[in-house]
């Protein structure tokens, strides 16, 4: 009778090398996502300083725009309720450019990103985990801005469900824009370059119907606003407040947002591939 040795336990490095069974294994995509997302979300709450300017900017613009333009806009007949008209702008200002790209740059500079690449985790999950944290950040910024609007008298014709959609709509836009700072972070690994990505915010946020409805815009600004996806996102958000469930308007904004998301995260994916290839 012959006896055979028991198979090596996973991770037993003292076994015959040919019998070594790794303790590590390729986990499910969901496991990978939860792992990276939980770390990124934990990181948000350890950087409270991240939220202060992100909250002040939209509140400041909301207060200034309403204070300076409300009477003019309403008396001219361009807008019926300027506060309701401005609340979506405050949301766009709050969420555009919000991302964990600075944390990604820190990972790249510290070498932790390399450590992540050395693990069997799926590469796309490194970005998706960050995006999960972005959604949490955006919602945390959107809710106080929305509450401020409600306190100041803005009411939603679509009710509470409309407010939920309003927040989700803003989050989708914020996420779509986040692909740009990620692309810059992965391409350059430079915090200054990532910070400068904020400049992209200006054409998107100002060359649109931020202050007046599209009918009141003229010349080149009207043309640019027509091609600016923010115009359609603002239309969608405003419709939830003042018009009710206008599905075509909502769908148009979502379509533009998704198109931008494909483009920005396409750039980010290319930048990640390049970084992995360069090492």
Comparison of 53 and 111: residue with beta carbon closer to another protein: 111
Distance CA 125, CA 168 (A): 22
Q: Does 63 bind another protein (CB under 8 A)?
A: no
Q: Does 18 bind another protein (CB under 8 A)?
A: yes
- What would you report as the CA-atom Rg of the chain, rounded to the nearest whole angstrom? 23
CB distance 271 to 127 below 8 Å: no
For residue 135 the two structure tokens come to 């959604």
CA distances for 174 relative to 18, 25, 94, 133, 258, angstroms: 50, 34, 9, 12, 11
Comparison of 9 and 71: residue with beta carbon closer to another protein: 9
Among 2, 3, 4, 13, contact with another protein (rule: CB under 8 A): 13
Comparison of 22 and 203: residue with beta carbon closer to another protein: 22
Among 14, 151, 219, 248, contact with another protein (rule: CB under 8 A): 14
Region from 25-33, 50-58, 92-100, 179-187 binding another protein, contact rule CB under 8 A: 25-33
**Could you write out the DSSP letters of every residue in the chain?**
----PPPPPBT-TTS-GGG-B-S-----HHHHHHHHHHHHHHHHHT-GGGHHHHHHHHHHHHHHHHHHHHHHHHHTTS-S-HHHHHHHHHHHHHHTT--SHHHHHHHHHHTHHHHHHTSS--HHHHHHHHHHHHHHHHHHHHHHHHHHHHHTT---TTHHHHHHHHHHHHHHHHHHHHHHHHHHHHHH--HHHHHHGGGGHHHHHHSSSSSS-GGG--HHHHHHHHH-HHHHHHHHHHIIIII---HHHHHHHHHHHHHHHHHHHHHHHHHHHHHHHH-
Among 59, 63, 117, 168, contact with another protein (rule: CB under 8 A): 117
Query: 10 has which bridge partners?
Result: 21
CB distance 102 to 110 below 8 Å: no
Q: Does 20 bind another protein (CB under 8 A)?
A: yes
Among 35, 70, 102, 195, contact with another protein (rule: CB under 8 A): 35
Q: Does 29 bind another protein (CB under 8 A)?
A: no
Among 58, 66, 96, 107, contact with another protein (rule: CB under 8 A): 107
Q: Does 159 bind another protein (CB under 8 A)?
A: no
What does the per-residue mask of binding to another protein show for 64-103, with x meaning CB under 8 A? ----------------------------------------
Comparison of 119 and 226: residue with beta carbon closer to another protein: 119
Q: Does 48 bind another protein (CB under 8 A)?
A: no
Q: Does 121 bind another protein (CB under 8 A)?
A: yes
Q: Does 266 bind another protein (CB under 8 A)?
A: no
Q: Does 5 bind another protein (CB under 8 A)?
A: no
Among 7, 47, 71, 262, contact with another protein (rule: CB under 8 A): 47
Q: Does 115 bind another protein (CB under 8 A)?
A: yes
Cβ at position 273, least distance to another protein in Å: 12
Binding residues (CB under 8 A) for another protein: these are 10-14, 17-18, 20, 22-27, 31, 35, 39, 42-43, 46-47, 107, 110-112, 114-121, 277, 279
């Amino acid at each position: 009778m012959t006896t055979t040795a028991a198979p090596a336990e996973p991770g037993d490095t003292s076994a015959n090398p040919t019998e070594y069974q790794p303790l590590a294994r390729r986990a499910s995509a969901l496991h990978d996502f939860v792992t990276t997302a939980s770390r990124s979300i934990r990181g948000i709450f350890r950087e409270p300083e991240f939220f202060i300017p992100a909250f002040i900017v939209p509140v400041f613009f909301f207060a200034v725009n309403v204070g300076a333009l409300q009477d003019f806009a309403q008396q001219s007949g361009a807008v019926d309720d300027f506060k309701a008209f401005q609340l979506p702008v405050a949301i766009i200002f709050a969420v555009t450019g919000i991302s964990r790209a600075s944390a990604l740059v820190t990972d790249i500079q510290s070498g932790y990103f390399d450590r992540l690449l050395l693990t069997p985790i799926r590469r796309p999950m490194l970005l998706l985990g960050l995006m999960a944290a972005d959604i949490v950040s955006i919602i945390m910024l959107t809710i106080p801005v929305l509450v401020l609007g409600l306190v100041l008298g803005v009411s939603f014709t679509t009710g509470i469900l409309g407010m939920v959609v309003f927040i989700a709509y803003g989050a989708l836009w914020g996420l779509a824009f986040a692909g740009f700072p990620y692309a810059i972070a992965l391409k350059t690994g430079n915090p200054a370059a990532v910070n400068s990505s904020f400049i992209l915010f200006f054409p998107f946020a100002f060359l649109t119907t931020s202050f007046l409805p599209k009918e009141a815009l003229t010349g080149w600004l009207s043309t640019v606003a027509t091609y600016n996806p923010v115009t359609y996102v603002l239309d969608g958000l405003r419709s939830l407040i003042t018009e009710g469930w206008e599905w075509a308007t909502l769908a148009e904004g979502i379509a533009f947002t998704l198109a931008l998301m494909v483009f920005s995260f396409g750039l980010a994916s290319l930048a990640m591939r390049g970084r992995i290839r360069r090492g």
